[in-house]
Amino acid sequence: MPGLPDPNFSQSVVYLCEHTKDGAMGLIVNQQMDIPVKAIFKQLELDYNEACGDELIFDGGPVARDRGFILHRTCTQTWESTVAISDEICLTASKDILSDIAIGDGPQNPLITLGYSSWGAGQLEEELATNSWLTIPSSAAIIFNTDCANRATAAASSIGLNLDMLSTDMGHA
């Protein structure tokens, strides 16, 4: 929501990957860093096609920014640590997927992130109760087919909201 005071999440769209009684984990899907994917390919000494290295890496969140996560559409290929989040979306955190992405054999339109977002037990529920977050059903089309700069607007529009019409203040009637 516009009034969320945490600068780590200002104008962020977070795809929630897991939510249990013990807490929640998600990835910011609309905040790109000024780091091309080829920087990771070079750091990991992976062979890569130049055409595969220009996409920018996403800032997945403020936790463990030295860890990488790849959000991608479900496909027939599998990698070491792929977890199905939904029928349409998977999360992989192993080097083998990066090797495939580097040579153009990975999933289409993968979203490569550094770091993740995390909430302790009950923390996200408390933030939801104070209207800190706007919840929207997930959409693979918004994550993978919508330009990064338009994802927040597209997500809000999917439930009939215009973000420009939301106030940063909360009132009580």
The tens place of each residue's pLDDT in the chain, 173 residues long, gives 766 677 788 788 999 999 999 999 999 999 999 999 999 999 999 999 888 888 999 999 999 998 999 999 999 888 999 999 999 999 999 899 999 999 999 998 999 999 999 999 999 999 888 888 889 999 999 999 999 999 988 988 888 877 767 655 555 55
Structural domains of the chain ordered from first start = 7-165 (3.40.1740.10)
Measured CA distances, 3 to 51, 58, 105, 138, 165 (Å): 39, 23, 41, 22, 13
Distance CA 107, CA 110 (A): 6
CB–CB of 73/82 below 8 Å?
Answer: no
CB–CB of 58/93 below 8 Å?
Answer: no
**Residue 171 CB partners (closer than 8 Å, separation 6+):** none
* Residue closest to 86 by CA, chosen among 30, 143, 32: 143
CB–CB of 161/134 below 8 Å?
Answer: yes
Distance CA 151, CA 149 (A): 6
Distance CA 71, CA 4 (A): 25
